């Protein structure tokens, strides 16, 4: 349990998807003009990350890893399909976003309307694929660890996009040098926020 809380806190603050690894920057910069849309996209990301990371974990464990197929028959023990992982992960992500979109549309039309176009966009959000690839690289041991990591990363991403959207709403009324307006200042603010987030690095866990 302690371990799970560690991973949760770590993935939200210390290894924040945006401030430490710059994952999902494209949609982060493009869709952070107002808090409302930003939080819609953020929730969708939490949703999809929380679903795809555990699924990819299972696929990785029982299909792709070296020797993973040995549960089928001992003869397949030395088959290594890990070179296929990109393909499998991206397929899972694309189909999951589609599935999530359909489920949300059916059971919660109000949420569907508020998420709108963001759900399909998520398929090409680097944060989602990044979550699966980090899960693979860091070799989490149990399904619970992988799911907690997925949800935690999603929440970290949500925090980041909502906070920059709030700042950008205020910035509209400030006097910024013309060439720096829009994209330039957003980059610099994200940099400053990342510096602030670095202070979490000192936290000792476990």
Partner 1 sequence: MSEKEPLLSKKNLKLVKDPLNENNPITVQVLGICSALAVTVKMKPAFVMAISVMVVLAASNVIYSLVRNHIPPRIRIIVQLTIIATMVILVDEILKAYVYEVSKQLSVFVGLIITNCILMGRLEAFANANKPWPSFMDALGNGAGYGIILIVVSFFRELFGSGTIWGYPIMEKIGLYNTGYVDNGFMTLPPMALILVGLIIWIQRSRFRNLIETR
Instruction: Single out the segment in contact with partner 1 by CB under 8 A; choices: 21-29, 37-45, 63-71, 158-166.
Output: 21-29
Phi-psi sector, 16: left (phi>0), alpha (psi -120 to 50), beta = beta
Q: In the bound complex, what is the minimum distance in angstroms from residue 1's beta carbon to partner 1?
A: 28
Q: Which of 7, 24, 52, 119 is the binder for partner 1 (CB under 8 A)?
A: 24
Q: How far is CA 190 from the centre of its chain?
A: 17
**Contact call for residue 123 and partner 1 (CB under 8 A):** yes
Print the SS3 string covering 30-61: HCCCCHHHHHHHHHHHHHHHHHHHHHHHHHHH
Q: How far is CA 53 from CA 94, 123, 129, 130, in A?
A: 13, 13, 9, 10
**Contact call for residue 203 and partner 1 (CB under 8 A):** no
Instruction: Single out the segment in contact with partner 1 by CB under 8 A; choices: 55-63, 102-110, 154-162, 183-191.
Output: 183-191
Q: In the bound complex, what is the minimum distance in angstroms from residue 97's beta carbon to partner 1?
A: 10
Q: Which of 9, 63, 81, 133 is the binder for partner 1 (CB under 8 A)?
A: 133
* Token pair belonging to 129: 């694929």
Q: How far is CA 37 from the centre of its chain?
A: 17
Total number of residues binding partner 1 (CB under 8 A)?
A: 47
Per the document, the length of the chain is 206
Instruction: Single out the segment in contact with partner 1 by CB under 8 A; choices: 7-15, 25-33, 50-58, 65-73.
Output: 25-33
**Contact call for residue 29 and partner 1 (CB under 8 A):** yes
| Residue (of 91, 93, 114, 112) closest to 103 by Cα position | 112
Residues that bind partner 1 (CB under 8 A): 19-26, 29-30, 83-87, 90-91, 94, 123-126, 128-130, 133-134, 137, 172, 177-188, 190-192, 194-195, 198
């Amino acid at each position: 349990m302690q371990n799970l809380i560690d991973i949760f806190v770590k993935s939200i603050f210390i290894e924040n998807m945006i401030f430490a690894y710059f994952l999902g920057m494209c949609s982060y910069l493009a869709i952070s003009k107002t808090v409302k849309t930003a939080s819609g996209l953020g929730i969708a990301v939490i949703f999809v990350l929380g679903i795809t990371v555990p699924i990819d974990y299972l696929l990785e464990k029982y299909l792709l890893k070296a020797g993973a197929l040995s549960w089928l028959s001992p003869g397949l023990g030395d088959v290594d399909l890990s070179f296929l992982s990109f393909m499998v992960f991206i397929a899972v992500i694309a189909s999951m976003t589609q599935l999530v979109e359909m489920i949300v549309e059916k059971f919660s039309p109000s949420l569907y309307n508020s998420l709108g176009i963001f759900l399909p966009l998520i398929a090409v959000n680097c944060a989602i694929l990044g979550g699966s690839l980090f899960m693979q690289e860091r070799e989490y041991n149990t399904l619970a660890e992988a799911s907690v990591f997925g949800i935690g990363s999603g929440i970290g991403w949500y925090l980041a996009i909502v906070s920059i959207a709030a700042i950008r709403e205020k910035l509209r009324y400030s006097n910024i040098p013309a060439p720096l307006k829009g994209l330039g200042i957003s980059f610099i603010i994200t940099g400053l926020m990342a510096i602030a987030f670095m202070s979490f690095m000192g936290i000792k866990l476990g």
